[in-house]
Amino acid sequence: MNAVTIRHILDTIAEMFPDAHCELNHRNPFELTIAVLLSAQCTDETVNKVTVGLFDKYRTPQDYLNVPLEELENDIRRIGLFRNKAANIQKLCKLVIDKHDGEIPPNYEELVELPGVGRKTANVVMSNAFGVPAIAVDTHVERVSKRLGIAKADDSVLEVEKKLMRKVPRDEWTLTHHRLIFFGRYHCKAQNPKCDVCPILEHCKEGKSRMKAALKKRSVSS
Ligand code: SF4
């Protein structure tokens, strides 16, 4: 895909979702880290419902360590993998206190050392909490990038991230991450993407083949 086409796609998606932003509610880097950790295999909407009460009860890393693990599990039990996530939250809080004076470290290498924090979470925290450009590749970003042909179908998450970083100007990484998420969440959905009204259909192989298949189905049934 050439640079002109990429530019056109980025501009079109920006026009469609001018207000794209992080949808996980948080007030500081620590809350954002906890929210992203909780969001693995779970919708932002569910995480936000849980964090309303959670962030009220637990304000500091020490607060999470002051309760038995079972109590924390119970407080997040509406979230998938809650046992695993509760254990990681307590380990993360301990490390943040022991090694970082109770603060989330503002650099990538130390972030990925925290239990439950992988590449995607670290990128989200770096970009949203500390203003460092980053493209976090979640399920929406991966799917959209592959459908559009920005990345190949069998590329790993890391390969998708690297391709996006090469093709998108650095000062647009963070916004592009949010816009691709909105585009994937509300338009190019996993099931039933809106190809028939998609303004970038002409650049999308997947969309074209879906439209062709839909036309064929219609002509067979009529
Ligand atoms: S044409 Fe369809 S598959 Fe392609 S980007 Fe648009 S909605 Fe997604």
Structure tokens at 30: 């620590």
Does residue 222 fall inside a structural domain?
no
Q: Are 130 and 122 in contact (CB under 8 A)?
A: no
Please tell me the predicted confidence (pLDDT) of residue 130: 96
User: How many other C-beta atoms are found inside a 10 Å radius of the C-beta of residue 206?
Assistant: 18
The average pLDDT across 18-22 equals 94
Say what the pLDDT of residue 73 is. Answer: 98
198 lines ligand 1 (CB under 6 A): yes
Token pair belonging to 196? 């028939």
CA-closest candidate to residue 176, choices 135, 143, 132:
135
Assigned token pair, 46:
């569910």
pLDDT of residue 140: 95
- pLDDT per residue over 131-188, tens digit each? 999 999 999 999 999 999 999 999 999 999 999 999 999 999 999 999 999 999 999 9
Distance from C-alpha of 108 to C-alpha of 112, rounded to nearest angstrom: 6
Average pLDDT over residues 119-125: 94
- Which residues have C-beta within 8 Å of that of residue 147, sequence separation ≥ 6? 188, 193, 204, 205, 206, 207
Q: What is the pLDDT of residue 5?
A: 94
Residue 171 belongs to a domain:
yes
Measured by CA distance, the residue closest to atom 8 of ligand 1 is 188
Please state, in angstroms and as integers, the Cα–Cα distance from residue 215 to each residue in 147, 200, 201, 219, 220, following that order.
19, 19, 15, 6, 9
Among 16, 143, 148, 203, the mutation site with the greatest number of ligand 1 atoms within 8 A of its Cβ is 148
Domain assignment present for residue 201? The answer is no
Residue type for position 141: V
The answer to whether 54 and 36 have CB atoms below 8 angstroms apart is no
Nearest atom of ligand 1 to the alpha carbon of 205: 4
Angle at 57 between CA 52 and CA 58, to 5 degrees: 100
- Closest CA relative to residue 139, chosen from 177, 169, 108: 177
206 located within any domain: no
User: What confidence tier does 221 reach under pLDDT thresholds 50, 70, 90?
Assistant: confident
In a domain, 62, yes or no: yes
200 Cβ below 6 A of ligand 1: yes
- 81 touches ligand 1 (CB under 6 Å): no
Is 35 inside any structural domain?
A: yes
Residue owning the nearest CA to atom 2 of ligand 1: 195
**Active site amino acids:** 120, 138
| pLDDT score of 222 more than 80 | no
Domain span at 75:
1-191
The alpha-helical segments, DSSP class H, found in 39-172 are 44-57, 61-65, 69-75, 82-100, 108-111, 119-130, 139-148, 157-167
Count of domains forming the chain: 1
In a domain, 163, yes or no: yes
What is the Cα–Cα distance from 173 to 186, expressed in whole angstroms? 20
Closest ligand 1 atom to Cα of 193: 7
Whole-prediction pTM: 0.90
Confidence band for 18, pLDDT divided at 50, 70 and 90: very high
> What local confidence, expressed as pLDDT, does residue 1 receive?
80
- CATH number of the domain residue 121 falls in: 1.10.340.30
Atom 3, ligand 1: residue with shortest CA distance: 207
- Residue 215 covered by a domain: no
